[in-house]
């Protein structure tokens, strides 16, 4: 059986403090922990799983800054990553990329495959870089979310 931890803050004891408190010290706060079993936990994990099925956009961190947009694209394609939008932000002052990219995969399955291939790996052709790639779920999901930047 799964349990979820919920924490509540109790401010009711603030007025009953045994010593006089100044305003800068703030109120006395007690932390109350509650464990919620079964059905509620199951509902929340189902909601999380349905959200996980819709994940198609990732943030790829630790890209070597010397690579251009086209070089990053070619490296990803050579690994067999299937995507429809790639955005590699560049520093306007230096012209180099900022070390991260946003990548929208064509499906949630393609996202999982890409994440497995890219997490803790290095881009092909970047043997002189010691940077190891890190895959994170992007806050905004979908092709439409990246349309304004791509």
User: Domain boundaries in the chain?
Assistant: 3-52, 57-147
DSSP string, 101-141: EEEEESSHHHHHHHHHHHTT---TT-TT-----EEEE-SS-
Residues 6+ apart with CB under 8 A from 22: none
DSSP state, residue 90 = B
What would the two tokens of residue 47 be? 């909601």
Give me the tens of pLDDT residue by residue for the chain, a chain 150 residues long: 454 555 555 555 444 444 554 555 555 545 555 555 545 445 555 555 555 458 889 999 999 988 899 999 999 999 999 998 898 999 888 888 999 999 999 899 999 999 999 999 888 877 778 889 999 998 888 877 776 665
Place of tokens 């706060």: 29
Q: Which CATH class is domain 57-147?
A: alpha beta
Which residues, at least 6 apart from 71, have a Cβ–Cβ distance to it below 8 Å?
125
The DSSP call for residue 53 is T
Residue with tokens 């895959």: 135
């Amino acid at each position: 059986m799964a349990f979820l931890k919920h924490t509540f803050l109790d401010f009711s004891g603030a007025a009953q403090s045994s010593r006089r408190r100044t305003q800068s010290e703030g109120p006395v706060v007690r932390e109350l922990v509650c464990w919620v079993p079964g059905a509620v936990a199951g509902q929340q994990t189902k909601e999380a799983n349905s959200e996980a099925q819709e994940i198609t956009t990732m943030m790829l961190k630790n890209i070597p800054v010397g690579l251009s947009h086209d070089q990053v694209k070619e490296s990803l394609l050579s690994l067999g990553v299937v995507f429809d939008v790639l955005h590699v932000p560049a520093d306007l002052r230096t012209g180099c990329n900022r070390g991260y990219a946003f990548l929208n995969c064509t499906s949630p399955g393609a996202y999982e495959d890409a994440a497995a291939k890219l997490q803790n790996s290095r881009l092909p052709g970047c043997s002189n870089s010691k940077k190891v790639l890190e895959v994170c779920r992007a806050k905004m999901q979908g092709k439409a979310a990246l349309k304004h930047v791509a």
